[in-house]
Amino acid sequence: MQKVDRLLELVAAGRGDKTGFEATAEQTLRLKRGLLVRLGDRRPPDLAPQYTGYTHGDLHPHNVLHGPDDRISAILDWDRLTVSSYAREMARAAVFYFTYGDERGLDCDRIRAFAGGYRSVFDVGEPEIGLATHQLWWDRLTDNWVIEWHYVRHNSACDHLLPGQTGLVKWWTIHYSQVEQSLMGR
């Protein structure tokens, strides 16, 4: 909450933004602050995942190249290679791949198919996926990296991502159970 308040102070100090980013940043921070007050008791438990191993760490459509037959020909950008939760990597990739990028949230039918395919090859189990889903949702709720980049790093290259990220957090919070079921392949 302190981080959100600090960012709200930076937004207030920067009045006069001609791009509209300030208004979006303020709305986002106030929304997230309200959700954190209301949903603070839904913070995920600090449990270690059971199934871990080497993961890409940043698997999303821009890091996957497809050949002419639409088969994967290469996976790029391995700088975040780490030992991490397989379920979290699967959930994170699904959210990146199947977000609409706006207030429509996620395509849960495609997530369900993706998760079903993943689990048919390597099933980490529903408890692992539930934990990963919970942690990923919480991370999205509490992370304000685009706003931090804008105000702390003075880098506006990712400003355009903020409306979609805000819409996703709002939508995912409302449809939490639906997303969790889809990530379990149900």
**Threshold 0.75, pTM exceeds:** yes
Listing DSSP states for the chain in one string gives -HHHHHHHHHHHHT---SSSHHHHHHHHHHHHHHHHHHHGGGPPP----SSEEEE-S--SGGGEEE-TTS-EEEE---TT-EEEEHHHHHHHHHHHHTB-SSTT-B-HHHHHHHHHHHHHH----HHHHHHHHHHHHHHHHH--HHHHHHHTS---TTGGGHHHHHHHHHHHHHTHHHHHHHHTT-
pLDDT per position as a tens digit, 135-175: 999 999 999 999 999 999 999 999 999 999 999 999 999 99
Does the pLDDT value for residue 16 go beyond 80?
no
Give the per-residue pLDDT at 1.
81
Does the pLDDT value for residue 17 go beyond 80?
no
Q: How far apart are CA 19 and CA 34, in angstroms?
A: 25
Contact 103, 172 (CB under 8 A): no
Structure-token match 């609409």, residue found: 100
Structure tokens at 167: 């819409």
Contact 106, 98 (CB under 8 A): yes
pLDDT per position as a tens digit, 96-140: 999 998 889 999 999 999 999 999 999 999 999 999 999 999 999
What confidence tier does 177 reach under pLDDT thresholds 50, 70, 90?
very high
pLDDT per position as a tens digit, 47-88: 999 999 999 999 999 999 999 999 999 999 999 999 999 999
Q: Which fold has domain 2-183?
A: Aminoglycoside 3'-phosphotransferase; Chain: A, domain 2 (3.90.1200)
- What's the longest Cα–Cα distance across the chain? 53
Contact 69, 96 (CB under 8 A): no
